[in-house]
Amino acid sequence: MADNTPVSLRDSAPDNEPGPAERGGSQIILLVVTAVVFMLVGVFLAVLFDNDNDSMSDEELRNTVAEVVGTQVAALDAPLAAQDGSIDQASLQAMIDSAVGTQVATLIPTSTPIPPTPTRIPLDTSADDDAFLGPEDAPVVIVEFSDFQCGYCGRWYDETLPQILEKYPDEVKFVYRDFPIFGEDSARAAMASECAADQDRFWEMHNRIFELQTSGELALDQDSLVSMAADLDMNAGEFEQCLASEKYLDEVLIDFQAADMYGFRGTPGFIINGVVYTFGAQPFEIFDSIIQNELANPS
């Protein structure tokens, strides 16, 4: 199971996040590799848990999945490394291990109390200028790095987020940032939410996509997203032009780079008042405990 201890970037947090990524550069390559890894991990874990996982220990499960995924992805490693040089076998294996740990953790939630760490990322850095719910000056800021195709993100949106917003309407500011690890459709959906923001419909688009995902009716091609925009009373022509032009690709990739820099290798990932939590879609009780601790011990 994934380590549930929150972490921070380093003793001295960076003053600024990465700038716009070069299209076709290292972040695009990393996105592709990450999408392949998570697709294979998800498929293999689904097969294992649909059959018989009770007889396998966490360590055996992690080792088995890592071996299978590593074998399948190995063929990609050489050409990708040749193009960019930043994705070596050790990095790929670390990504596989983290993907396994994150997805296993969401399948087997923990109730272990999580202590805070003393090193925190500045709130204006972790939150950037992305869309948020709640008071701008709330004492607790929860930043989620998410993928619209991630089933665990959908579960967290459906089950945990509403409880947080209901219990802490004045105490929590919730910020949504993009970490599109499942490929082209995820990146397109992320850009669609940014295009919706141009018409003050970010949260309407965000909510509609997750509602369709949790109902099993999600489609993220250009036409489907334009249809969603029209259903949400947006100017469909302006939305379509924005999406087709990839106007917000750089914005999405900046979020992607930030998530990678903060150490996230799975979705959802969270930064709560500057502390990085990589434990995935844990239940409300875990977040409630963290929020209560932050309110009792303001930084």
Mind listing the pLDDT tens digit for each residue in 13-24? Answer: 344 455 544 444
CA neighbor of 212 nearest in space, from 198, 199, 196, 227: 227
| H or E element, residue 176 | strand 172-178
pLDDT higher than threshold 90 for residue 219:
yes
Which ranges of 108-183 does DSSP label H, i.e. alpha helix? 123-127, 151-155, 161-167
d(Cα 97, Cα 293) in Å, to the nearest integer?
Answer: 30
Long-range contacts of 184-189 (CB under 8 A, 24+ apart): 185/149, 185/220, 185/221, 186/35, 186/147, 186/148, 186/149, 186/220, 187/31, 187/249, 187/252, 188/220, 188/221, 188/222, 188/225, 188/243, 189/148, 189/149, 189/220, 189/225
In the CATH scheme, what is the homologous superfamily, with its name and number, of domain 1-299?
A: Glutaredoxin (3.40.30.10)
pLDDT higher than threshold 60 for residue 207:
yes
pTM over 0.75: no
| H or E element, residue 53 | none
For 32-53, what is the mean pLDDT? 58
pLDDT higher than threshold 50 for residue 203:
yes
Which of left, alpha, beta for 273 (phi over 0: left; psi -120 to 50: alpha)? left
The residue ranking higher by pLDDT, 195 or 113, is 195
pLDDT of residue 211: 96
Amino acid at site 94: A
Q: Measured at the alpha carbon of residue 51, what is the angle toward residues 48 and 56, in degrees to the nearest 5?
A: 60
pLDDT of residue 138: 95
Those residues with Cβ within 8 angstroms of residue 205's Cβ, 6 or more apart along the chain or in another chain: 192, 193, 196, 228, 229, 232
How many helices (H) and strands (E) are present in the chain, helices listed first?
12, 5
pLDDT of residue 194: 96
pLDDT band (50, 70, 90) for residue 196: very high
d(Cα 156, Cα 81) in Å, to the nearest integer?
Answer: 35
CA neighbor of 193 nearest in space, from 155, 157, 139: 157
φ/ψ of 97, rounded to 5, equals -60, -40
How many percent of the chain have pLDDT more than 90?
A: 42
Q: Which two tokens stand for residue 282?
A: 């844990």
The residue ranking higher by pLDDT, 113 or 154, is 154
The residue ranking higher by pLDDT, 170 or 125, is 170
| H or E element, residue 184 | helix 184-197
pLDDT of residue 32: 59
Those residues with Cβ within 8 angstroms of residue 34's Cβ, 6 or more apart along the chain or in another chain: 95, 181, 265
- The tens digit of pLDDT for each residue in 60-114 reads 656 666 665 555 555 544 444 434 444 555 665 565 665 655 555 444 444 444 4
Least confident of 94-103, 158-167, 255-264: 94-103
pLDDT higher than threshold 90 for residue 29:
no
Dmax over Cα atoms in the chain, in whole Å? 55
pLDDT higher than threshold 60 for residue 157:
yes
d(Cα 140, Cα 123) in Å, to the nearest integer?
Answer: 10
Least confident of 126-135, 141-150, 240-249: 126-135
Those residues with Cβ within 8 angstroms of residue 156's Cβ, 6 or more apart along the chain or in another chain: 144, 268, 281
For 251-265, what is the mean pLDDT? 85
